């Protein structure tokens, strides 16, 4: 471990000189690696004092600075756009993509509400049917599900709609003008009700006349008769009126829509094809191409590399608190270097994060709104031209 060479004032970068080699193939990185090493060494006091680091130390700091810079930017982009990213394909590379906000996540959320009212969503609506029996009013749909719904163990159904209703009023429409002997003239043929309305009058009545008659039939069934209705409590179905031979003659099967509770409560999409963004760890951002980073970013990277180099030098010098010299001892500045390095790193990260917050979508919209407001105030102070004709 003795006589290890330290920085001698120059270096020659070659591929493989960095720990991870993320940017080694970039020609601009290869050129600037030696420049950054020389700059950091001179900022640390070389050649007036020795710098107990090697070229590889500076290359490591340079590589880490670029990665830290890109990670901060990509974390900001993920925070800014994750609601639109989730569900996209992980095979895409977002580095050089303009990300456009979408309503995908909002629509997926709204679909869960649509499921409850039968207006869409990811939950399948199944159709069930059971036989009505004369004189039987109560039916256990849970027992029916156990026998007919192909449920997995522990699953159950939730009934969403029951089709138990009287025949439509239009099929019981009676036109009091029929039988006048003037010949058949269907008043509602044009409206598609020709087979339902046996009108034979020469007078074409307005459509609301027929609508009111249909409504009267429905009110008559509801008030004067036992209207077709049902009560559903905990999958126990009770029908009104009690099915009779007359009702069964019309239709002896009762249909209903239901969902499987396990599908409604599942938070995963059964149609998920895989390879989708599911969390921040698989958002497809990769290490940047160094040559495409602008001068603002490169300046930040060099300053952060200097702070890292200063921190490494502090650790090296901290191993030896003092160095004996003829007649005295030299105390090394490990503590000062370490304090300065940590404060500079923190300040640079705060500066970068503040800049990213300033260019966020929210901040830009607020700035444009203020600009428009101030521009309007300035225009209000401009004199208006009076035209004389």
Cα distance between the two ends of the chain: 97
Mean local confidence (pLDDT), 98-105? 88
Mean local confidence (pLDDT), 220-225? 78
Where is 42: in which H helix or E strand?
helix 27-43
Q: Quick check: 329 pLDDT over 60?
A: no
Q: Quick check: 199 pLDDT over 60?
A: no
Rounded-to-integer distance, Cα 300 and Cα 320, Å: 31
Q: Do 103 and 171 belong to one domain?
A: no
Q: Do 79 and 102 belong to one domain?
A: yes
Q: How many helices (H) and strands (E) does the chain have?
A: 10, 8
User: What are the tens digits of pLDDT across the range 51-92?
Assistant: 999 999 999 999 999 999 999 999 999 999 999 998 888 888
Q: Is residue 112 part of a domain?
A: yes
Q: Is residue 172 part of a domain?
A: yes
What pLDDT does 220 receive?
Answer: 82
Give me 151's structure tokens: 């449920």
What pLDDT does 344 receive?
Answer: 97
What pLDDT does 249 receive?
Answer: 59
Q: Specify whether the CB–CB gap between 129 and 254 falls below 8 A.
A: yes
What pLDDT does 138 receive?
Answer: 95
DSSP state of 272: -
Where is 298: in which H helix or E strand?
helix 295-318
pTM over 0.75: no
The CB density around residue 259, as the number of other CB atoms within 10 Å, is 19
Q: Is residue 239 part of a domain?
A: no
Q: Do 14 and 91 belong to one domain?
A: yes
Q: Which domain holds residue 176?
A: 166-227
Q: Quick check: 197 pLDDT over 80?
A: no
Give me 281's structure tokens: 């760890």
What phi and psi, each to the nearest 5 degrees, are found at residue 174?
-125, 120
Q: Do 130 and 42 belong to one domain?
A: no
Q: Do 194 and 210 belong to one domain?
A: yes
Q: Quick check: 230 pLDDT over 50?
A: yes
Q: Do 282 and 342 belong to one domain?
A: yes
Mean local confidence (pLDDT), 175-194? 47
Determine the distance from the C-alpha atom of residue 191 to the mean position of all C-alpha atoms in its chain, rounded to a whole number.
Answer: 47
Q: Quick check: 268 pLDDT over 90?
A: no
Q: Do 159 and 193 belong to one domain?
A: no
Which region holds residue 179: left if phi is over 0, alpha if psi is between -120 and 50, else beta?
A: left
Please tell me the total count of domains within the chain.
3
Rounded-to-integer distance, Cα 122 and Cα 74, Å: 32
Where is 317: in which H helix or E strand?
helix 295-318
User: What residues pair up with 330 in beta bridges, in sequence order?
Assistant: 323
pLDDT band at 367 (very low <50, low <70, confident <90, very high): very high
Q: Do 259 and 285 belong to one domain?
A: no
Q: Specify whether the CB–CB gap between 306 and 40 falls below 8 A.
A: yes
Give me 268's structure tokens: 């995963």
Rg value, the chain, Cα: 40
What pLDDT does 183 receive?
Answer: 39
Give the chain's length. Answer: 389
Give me 289's structure tokens: 């191409």
Q: Which range, 171-185, 201-215, 216-230, 282-296, has the best average confidence (pLDDT)?
A: 282-296
DSSP 338-389: HHHHHHHHHHHHHHHHHHHHHTSHHHHHHHHHHHHHHHHHHHHTSPPPPP--
Q: Is residue 182 part of a domain?
A: yes
Mean local confidence (pLDDT), 249-261? 83
pLDDT band at 247 (very low <50, low <70, confident <90, very high): low
Rounded-to-integer distance, Cα 76 and Cα 332, Å: 39
Give me 290's structure tokens: 């160094």
Q: Quick check: 215 pLDDT over 70?
A: yes
Q: Do 174 and 90 belong to one domain?
A: no
Q: Quick check: 193 pLDDT over 60?
A: no
What pLDDT does 185 receive?
Answer: 45
Tracing tokens 């800049």 back to the chain, one arrives at: 355
Q: Do 38 and 10 belong to one domain?
A: yes
pLDDT band at 172 (very low <50, low <70, confident <90, very high): low
What pLDDT does 120 receive?
Answer: 77
What pLDDT does 240 receive?
Answer: 86
Residue predicted with more confidence, 14 or 240: 14
What pLDDT does 325 receive?
Answer: 54
Q: Is residue 279 part of a domain?
A: yes
If DSSP codes are grouped into helix, strand and coil, which group holds residue 151? coil
User: What are the tens digits of pLDDT across the range 116-167?
Assistant: 888 878 888 999 998 888 889 999 999 999 999 989 899 999 999 998 877 7
Average pLDDT, whole number, for the chain? 85
The CB density around residue 246, as the number of other CB atoms within 10 Å, is 9
Rounded-to-integer distance, Cα 312 and Cα 318, Å: 10
Q: Is residue 389 part of a domain?
A: no
Give me 141's structure tokens: 């749909």
What pLDDT does 285 receive?
Answer: 95
Q: Do 320 and 216 belong to one domain?
A: no
Q: Do 3 and 94 belong to one domain?
A: yes
Lowest-confidence segment of 4-13, 90-99, 269-278 by average pLDDT: 269-278
DSSP state of 65: H
Q: Is residue 87 part of a domain?
A: yes
Rounded-to-integer distance, Cα 223 and Cα 236, Å: 26
Bridge pairing between strands 236-240 and 253-260: unpaired
Q: Quick check: 209 pLDDT over 70?
A: yes
Q: Is residue 186 part of a domain?
A: yes
Give me 103's structure tokens: 């309503």
């Amino acid at each position: 471990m003795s006589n290890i060479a330290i920085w001698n004032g120059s270096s020659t970068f070659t591929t493989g000189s960095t720990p991870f080699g993320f940017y080694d193939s970039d020609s601009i990185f290869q050129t600037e690696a030696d420049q950054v090493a020389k700059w950091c060494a001179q900022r640390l006091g070389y050649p007036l004092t020795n710098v107990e680091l090697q070229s590889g130390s500076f290359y490591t700091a340079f590589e880490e600075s670029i990665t830290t810079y890109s990670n901060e930017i990509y974390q900001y982009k993920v925070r800014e756009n994750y609601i639109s990213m989730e569900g996209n394909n992980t095979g895409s590379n977002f580095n050089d993509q303009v990300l456009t906000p979408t309503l995908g996540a909002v629509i997926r959320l709204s679909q869960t509400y649509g499921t409850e009212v039968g207006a869409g969503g990811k939950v399948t609506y199944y159709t069930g049917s059971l036989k009505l029996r004369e004189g039987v009013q109560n039916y256990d749909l849970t027992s029916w599900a156990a026998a007919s719904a192909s449920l997995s163990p522990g699953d159950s159904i939730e009934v969403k709609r029951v089709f138990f209703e009287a025949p439509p009023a239009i099929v019981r429409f009676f036109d009091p003008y029929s039988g006048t002997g003037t010949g058949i003239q269907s008043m509602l043929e044009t409206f598609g009700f020709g087979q339902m309305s046996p009108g034979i009058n020469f007078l074409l009545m307005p459509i609301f006349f027929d609508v009111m008659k249909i409504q009267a039939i429905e009110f008559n069934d509801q008030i004067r008769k036992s209207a077709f209705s049902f009560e559903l409590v905990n999958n126990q179905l009770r029908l009104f009126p009690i099915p009779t031979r007359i009702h069964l003659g019309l239709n002896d099967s009762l249909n209903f829509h239901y969902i499987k509770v396990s599908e409604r409560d599942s938070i995963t999409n059964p149609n998920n094809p895989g390879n989708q963004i599911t969390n921040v760890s698989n958002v497809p951002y990769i290490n940047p191409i160094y040559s495409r980073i602008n001068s603002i970013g490169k300046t930040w990277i060099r300053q952060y590399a200097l702070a890292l180099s200063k921190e490494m030098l502090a650790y090296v010098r901290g191993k030896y608190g003092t160095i004996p010299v003829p007649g005295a001892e030299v105390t090394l500045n490990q503590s000062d270097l370490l304090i300065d390095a940590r404060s500079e790193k923190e300040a640079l990260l705060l500066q970068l994060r503040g800049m990213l917050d300033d260019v966020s979508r929210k901040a830009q919209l607020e700035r444009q709104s203020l600009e428009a407001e101030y521009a309007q105030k300035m225009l209000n102070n401009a004199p208006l031209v009076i035209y004389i004709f």
